[in-house]
């Protein structure tokens, strides 16, 4: 059974950092493009970042570029989202997701992702 299990998140003050983890089970994460999305209360789920299946392309939403970093550890079958300089507007439930429709690029289209993690809350507040 293919699963994505998330960990990390929590409460942090503005300007602080958090790292989210997303561990794949039942499949090799490097065989899939992986995306990070977030959903604030009362709002739709929006794309944050993604990495392509070949690992050569990493893209970021303009709102997080320069502050968030996506990485992958093949040995642990886990991907990470390092979030620095956090702002109150980053508060949301964060989700990782996997897709196998693209190879050399990655997509911000939520409908392309077939497998989803359970979500983890990130709250940025003083």
What is the residue-level pLDDT of the chain in tens, covering all 126 positions? 889 999 999 999 999 999 999 999 888 878 899 999 999 999 999 999 999 998 899 999 999 999 999 999 888 999 999 999 999 999 999 999 999 988 899 999 999 999 999 999 999 999
Q: How far apart are CA 97 and CA 15, in angstroms?
A: 26
Residues 6+ apart with CB under 8 A from 66: none
């Amino acid at each position: 059974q293919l699963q994505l299990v998330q960990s990390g998140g929590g409460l942090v003050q503005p300007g602080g950092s958090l790292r989210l983890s997303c561990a794949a089970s039942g499949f090799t994460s490097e065989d899939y493009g992986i995306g990070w999305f977030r959903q604030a209360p009362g709002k739709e789920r929006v794309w944050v970042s993604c990495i392509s299946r070949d690992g050569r392309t990493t893209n970021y939403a303009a709102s997080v570029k320069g502050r968030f970093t996506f990485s992958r550890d093949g040995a642990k079958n886990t991907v990470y989202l390092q979030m620095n300089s956090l702002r109150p507007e980053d508060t949301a439930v964060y989700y990782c997701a996997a897709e196998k429709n693209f190879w050399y690029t990655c997509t911000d289209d939520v409908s392309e992702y077939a497998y989803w993690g359970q979500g983890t809350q990130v709250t940025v507040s003083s």
